[in-house]
Structure 1
């Protein structure tokens, strides 16, 4: 039972602009639902752009849940919104106004799709061998697994992968932390799921292209400046080959996101009649939208999101925890910085219940070997 104690209408400080705001196709392929951080509720199709829930606990603690429409903003823009909100709440006033002109990403105005544009990132993900659709995998019981990797464990994975990939005279800077951790997760998932060697598997990651286009996206741009890329392999290759193989697949996929690729993606999306096939919903067990569950994965890195100076302090102190409020489907995961231990990360991963124990076992055993 819920008792409503009081309600408030928050009026804008200025008259709401009446002009139509431009929304690019790069915005449109993002989830139509909200991107949650603490709590999230099953959506209807008449949703406000922002949902906020403040919960006060009997112990005196407080939690703040924020749901922000993903078509409105990506993670970096969302944290910018929160940082300005925090400053206003503390009576300091906004510091960096958002850049709201989305026409700067109007790359799709160019009608000619580059001849060398690779549209493989927009194919539907592989199905389990012998399956005609993903309905069965969508409906299996899942749960969320929280794992930690220390700075030392990450460096061990990274050193191992870089040593495996080392070539005489190679000046490449090697694999990033994200590439080796994501590659390790992808290999581990194939083991835990006990895939056949010939099972095709795909890993989806999101790439921030703010500084990868010419000219760069304006600082404090408010919107989506991210694109999905896909790394593909067979389970047999991932498991039998060294970690550098998986990390190399991810490296190749992410590093192709440069000016030509971003603008080619925009033109490609403009030519599609329906963009909804690339959206997913932040709803566990949903039968709608794209699905990167078994035999696939989707890994989102929050490792490079801007840190708020002093945390998200509305005036009651810095928060003890910040993280996603929901992990939407089997195979979906987030990699977060562990704020309690410098250089470490926390992984939030949803998996089918039957795969969780094996995943956790292989995940740590393979670091030792």
Structure 2
């Protein structure tokens, strides 16, 4: 429910500053991999961590602790203190200049308790929790990371940062943030040493495509209108799946699929309900792209080379069917397609994908009648601890992946009642969102599904 009286609070921000590595680092140019620099990863992804007051840390200033630890962490992750450059054939590389990452100190006159159950996507007034520095929407010749630490009146704080997706995926971000947190707690160096090793996912010479990559099919003529890409008015809403909800969904699939993952079940739900909500024509193809972390799919020798790898090692493997088949079959049909799409990602598939990117000029994935879910449950961002205990929330700041509204994340979370579950933040136009909620409620057996919304906010910024 939305509060009838808006909550007033003020954010005071300092001027942005550059945090440099604490010691000299190599000045060199490092190529990104041919999976890193594809068109679909050329954006900044906002991520947020929320921490409560910790009495044992009351003499410590989180801004100073995090800034000092960041400087030391950048000695190990020094490419992150450089700048992205673009070369011939749109090839991206990192110029390791050591110029630093953008850091902003802020204060808000509000407590965590006043946020209520709004401590999950969509975060109220997120634009003030992560300052929009002019030019921060670009990735070329800009600071690779933008970080803001906001102290709260209760002694807690909010850490928000933007992930330049060409530099790494969710697993890579978790590795970096964990290293940063270890050093903040007093470690001399990260327990997992970062490795670059981008050559593992470079195209072969000559490149040759050996797999079918339906996630990049360009199925629509230019200037075709796609309803779900209309961003004029969009509602952001999160859905919290408890173990009871997941059990209810599991009962909808055949016995041989009963051991499928919560990701498979929720992703299938999202795909079916969203397709119905958008009222896609029955004979039109629809896609669910499953973002697969391929690290475990490599051979033992190559897998050992990926220990400490913080680049992108993901594939957007696509399940494809018609709207009629998807919506006319039982949920198990969608689950089967999703499981098959995930299973096709192998080491061979990843090498084929790198070659595909070079041959197809780093093209964008298919966006028409497509949705995408990235599984961040194993990253366990909420377990990150800078000395103030585990995060109240850790993960994506909102639904949508870059400018692609059909993309989203599955994130672990514990709500204000202490219930553990999974959050799925999504974006849809208002009428489509109403239909989506109804479809999901019907699928779950009219359990009065708990969507997430918090109090309304009025904010002033100084």
- 256, 259, 269: which one aligns with 1:184: 269
Tell me which residue corresponds to 1:31.
Answer: 41
User: Using a 3 Å threshold, how does the CA distance of structure 1 residues 91 and 331 change in structure 2: closer, same or farther?
Assistant: same
Q: Quote the Cα distance in structure 2 between the aligned partners of 1:152 and 1:254.
A: 25
- 373, 377, 392: which one aligns with 1:299: 373
Tell me which residue corresponds to 1:368.
Answer: 445
RMSD: 2.7
C-alpha contact 1:125 1:291 (8 A) present in aligned 2: no
Tell me which residue corresponds to 1:319.
Answer: 391
Tell me which residue corresponds to 1:345.
Answer: 422
Q: Quote the Cα distance in structure 1 between the aligned partners of 2:13 and 2:420.
A: 44
Q: Quote the Cα distance in structure 2 between the aligned partners of 1:264 and 1:7.
A: 42
Residue aligned with 1:277, SS: coil
Tell me which residue corresponds to 1:92.
Answer: 187
Q: Quote the Cα distance in structure 2 between the aligned partners of 1:34 and 1:6.
A: 21
- 3, 17, 23: which one aligns with 2:26: 17
Q: Quote the Cα distance in structure 1 between the aligned partners of 2:16 and 2:23.
A: 21
C-alpha contact 2:196 2:310 (8 A) present in aligned 1: yes
How far the C-alpha of 1:10 sits from its partner, in A, is 3.1
User: Using a 3 Å threshold, how does the CA distance of structure 1 residues 96 and 315 change in structure 2: closer, same or farther?
Assistant: same
User: Using a 3 Å threshold, how does the CA distance of structure 1 residues 117 and 291 change in structure 2: closer, same or farther?
Assistant: closer
Q: Quote the Cα distance in structure 2 between the aligned partners of 1:157 and 1:135.
A: 28
Question: How many residues are matched?
Answer: 341
Structure 1 unmatched ranges of 5 or more: 167-171, 279-289
How far the C-alpha of 1:60 sits from its partner, in A, is 3.7
Match runs of 1:143-182 below 5 Å: 143-163=235-255, 166=256, 174-182=259-267
Q: Quote the Cα distance in structure 1 between the aligned partners of 2:242 and 2:427.
A: 21
- 271, 277, 293: which one aligns with 1:208: 293
C-alpha contact 2:228 2:406 (8 A) present in aligned 1: no
How far the C-alpha of 1:7 sits from its partner, in A, is 6.4
**Per-residue Cα deviation, 1:6-26 (whole angstroms, up to 9, x for no partner):** 665533233221222131111
Q: Quote the Cα distance in structure 2 between the aligned partners of 1:2 and 1:148.
A: 28
Alignment of 1:277 with 2:354, yes or no, is no
Tell me which residue corresponds to 2:199.
Answer: 103
How far the C-alpha of 1:71 sits from its partner, in A, is 0.6
User: Using a 3 Å threshold, how does the CA distance of structure 1 residues 7 and 151 change in structure 2: closer, same or farther?
Assistant: closer
C-alpha contact 1:76 1:306 (8 A) present in aligned 2: no
- 211, 218, 227: which one aligns with 1:117: 211
Tell me which residue corresponds to 1:284.
Answer: none
C-alpha contact 1:334 1:347 (8 A) present in aligned 2: yes
How far the C-alpha of 1:74 sits from its partner, in A, is 0.6
Q: Quote the Cα distance in structure 1 between the aligned partners of 2:214 and 2:319.
A: 10
- The structure whose residues are more often strand, as a share, is 2
Moved more, 241-250 or 197-206: 197-206
C-alpha contact 1:162 1:175 (8 A) present in aligned 2: no
Match runs of 1:20-99 below 5 Å: 20-29=29-38, 30-38=40-48, 39=126, 41=132, 43-44=137-138, 45-93=140-188, 94-99=190-195
C-alpha contact 2:393 2:413 (8 A) present in aligned 1: no
How far the C-alpha of 1:112 sits from its partner, in A, is 5.0
Q: Quote the Cα distance in structure 2 between the aligned partners of 1:186 and 1:136.
A: 13
Structure 2 unmatched ranges of 5 or more: 1-9, 49-125, 447-462
Q: Quote the Cα distance in structure 2 between the aligned partners of 1:300 and 1:48.
A: 25
TM-score by length of 1: 0.83
TM-score by length of 2: 0.67
Q: Quote the Cα distance in structure 2 between the aligned partners of 1:213 and 1:317.
A: 34
Residue aligned with 1:344, SS: strand
C-alpha contact 2:207 2:359 (8 A) present in aligned 1: no
User: Using a 3 Å threshold, how does the CA distance of structure 1 residues 200 and 3 change in structure 2: closer, same or farther?
Assistant: same
Q: Quote the Cα distance in structure 1 between the aligned partners of 2:393 and 2:259.
A: 32
User: Using a 3 Å threshold, how does the CA distance of structure 1 residues 8 and 66 change in structure 2: closer, same or farther?
Assistant: closer
